[in-house]
Amino acid sequence: MALINGTDVARDITEQTTKRAYEFEQRTGRKPCLAAVLVGEDPASVTYVKMKRNRSAKAGIESRFVQLPAETTTEQLVAEITKLSEDDGVDGILLQHPVPGHIDERAAFEAIAPGKDVDGVTMHSFAAMAFSEPGFHSATPGGIMRLLEAYDVDLKGKHAAVIGRSPILGKPVAMLLLAKDATVTICHSKTANLDEIVRTADIVVAAVGKPNFITAIKPGAVVIDAGYNEGNVGDVDFDQVADDASLITPVPGGVGPTTIAVLLEQTVSAAIRRSEDM
């Protein structure tokens, strides 16, 4: 078994991003700008946004912060995001997920202009991923693909099992794996024989949101644990499966760091594209 070191992969991506952000600033006289929108005060979300803003600053990306009260309505949130979509000084928009339950999250995501969707959450970005057209990747799926690439994992003709089908994680990562010629099975809460499917997979991507959910894999499989549950616990029971895995991500230090790295990389890409279009 070997560990996949997400911190190293993220550092490499961010080094490049920092250089590109610097070159952008030299050329245009301004830093790339990421606007982060947070609704409510969920402690995990507050921490994520803070972390993303700190990393932005370190990479030479300006960050704007729009903090809205928990009782914000869908209409108010859509209006705030629309303003950012129309603001020439903003290159990328991040709406921290999840938003409070009374808000129509899809409507809020769709208010993000496609050219600023650096977290890859809009239907436009999903379609681009599905059709292998240029566009922004969902940040976590994009990070997962970078991990597989960095560790030379051959996906062609391999069976990949994705456990979870959320619009920001399970579904888009399945599309990206398919685009790399993997044969993909998407599992969810209604899947019959889930354990059997997972035990036939060469690549397992766990995106369930249930601590230690995956307990058995095929010997030699590559295991990517996107789960992040309370107490730094992943969706894969690391102790149970690590010996059977050829490669496995730890939690923390696996998928998490690459998510932010891809978000920042795409912010700089958005800034460059926008400046070229102007």
Question: What amino acid occupies position 225?
Answer: D
> Count of alpha carbons within 13 Å of 10, Cβ hemisphere only?
24
Q: What region, left, alpha or beta, does residue 60 occupy, with left being phi > 0 and alpha being psi -120 to 50 degrees? A: left
Whose CA is closest to 51, among 269, 264, 260?
260
* DSSP 8-state secondary structure symbol assigned to residue 68: E
Site mask, ligand NAP, residues 23-52, x = CB under 6 A?
Answer: ------------------------------
| 119 catalytically annotated | yes
Query: Which residue's CB is nearer to ligand NAP, number 250 or number 256?
Result: 256
Q: What 3-state class would DSSP assign to 133?
A: coil
Q: CB of residue 22 vs ligand NAP: minimum separation in angstroms? A: 26
* Contacts of ligand NAP in 216-255 (CB under 6 A): 226-229, 235, 255
Query: Which residue's CB is nearer to ligand NAP, number 208 or number 272?
Result: 208
Q: CB of residue 48 vs ligand NAP: minimum separation in angstroms? A: 8
| 16 catalytically annotated | no
Helix (H) or strand (E) segment spanning residue 206: strand 203-206
Instruction: Report whether 236 contacts 248 (CB < 8 A).
Output: yes
**Nearest-angstrom CA–CA distance, 196 and 244:** 16
- Single out the residue of 146, 165, 218, 274 in contact with ligand NAP (rule: CB under 6 A): 165
| 58 catalytically annotated | no
Q: In b/e form, how buried is each residue of 197-228, taking b as 16+ CB within 10 angstroms?
A: bbbebbbbbbbbeebbbbeebbeebbbbbbbb
Query: Which residue's CB is nearer to ligand NAP, number 163 or number 272?
Result: 163
Range in contact with ligand NAP (rule: CB under 6 A) among 10-18, 80-88, 120-128, 206-214: 206-214
Site mask, ligand NAP, residues 94-133, x = CB under 6 A?
Answer: ----------------------------------------
Query: Which residue's CB is nearer to ligand NAP, number 194 or number 248?
Result: 194
Question: What amino acid occupies position 130?
Answer: A
Q: Does 159 bind ligand NAP (CB under 6 A)?
A: no
Question: Which residues are at the interface with ligand NAP (CB under 6 A)?
Answer: 140, 163-166, 168-170, 187-191, 194, 207-210, 226-229, 235, 255-256, 259
Which residues form the catalytic set? 52, 96, 119
